[in-house]
Structure 1
Amino acid sequence: MIRGWHGLLGTFNGVVLITVAALPLAALAVWALARRRRVTGTRTAWRMSLAEVGIVYGTVPWVWMIMLPGDRAGDVRGRVSLVPLRDLHTILAGGPLTVTVQIVGNLLVFAALGFFAPLRFAALASVPRILALAAGCSFLVEAAQYVLRLDRVSSVDDILLNTAGAGLAALASCRWWRTTATAPSDRPRPVPVGP
């Protein structure tokens, strides 16, 4: 049984399968959060709820995948690549599939965070703040890969690509978060007290 669960939870295909299976639960979570907020009078209940669930649903599977241990996890020391663009050059020298998987995958790791965080948190409604947040999160993930000895390379290029993906996603959503940042407060309206 444990091996069966590891086969599901410990592989890229398993993570993708669970992510797809969890989509109805994510939609239900958006609906439940929005309904609860509408009762308290929050004006942007759907937007806030979609943003919160979107951040989690769009980020956790990617982080889960990059934290999966390699074949020699625990046996080998962590490897670090601190020279910018060295790993990227190696990836580009690989085949088209390698380029697509590595580059697009790294761009998508924090893309949901970059897209939805400014919609939810007005304090993050600027591209430089999203870039700083994504760079910090990416650094933490790369450091965890090294410290946990997951048989992965902790690379500055991964941090650059993760951050760039979040920044591009933030630019894609800026049309909506600019209106959120200037919108009136979303604090619940007071409930009138009867006589």
Structure 2
Amino acid sequence: MIMELENWSVRRWSLAGLAFCVLMMAVALGLEHGAGLEPCPLCIFQRVAVIAAGMVFVIAALHDPKGRAGAVVYGLLGVVAVGVGIALAGRHLWLQSLPADQVPSCGPGLDYMMEILPLRDVLATVLTGSGECAEVGATLLGLSLPGWTLIGFVVLMLAPLGLLARSLRRDHGYRWQGVPGRD
């Protein structure tokens, strides 16, 4: 299995990452429109991180660079986008773990804040958290939705790491278990 993965092209790694981004967004939209769960501001920002990662993967798949520099650039951009998603999901889980007396009060809705505040203030307010982000709206197998989203981001991180590993193999001649790879 590992020997097969080391021969994946930039396009193949990118399409795998894009497919997982589409799956994550389909689940998010299904929960919103099908199950009626309204996303809080941190949920929306996590969606933006998924979309940003998806855009990196789309561009990488269309470009499909053959050299190692392209794999490094797209891999690093993917790591940044997915890393932001991991940080947001982690922050969301932390807010949900707070005792009730330490939960920040609910603030205005994200739409309202976007209309009246500069983007920097909106980001600061959302990342500080609000009472609505601390509510556990639904669980599956004992894990809240931000917990599942964090797991999704960790799995998604495999795509940009695969791109970086591919470039490492090409840079240093590294081969899994001494098996020569095809370039």
**Which band: TM-score by shorter chain?**
0.3 to 0.5
TM-score by length of 2: 0.34
**Which one has a bigger Cα radius of gyration?**
1
Greater relative contact order (Cα < 8 A, sep 6+): 2
TM-score (norm 1): 0.32
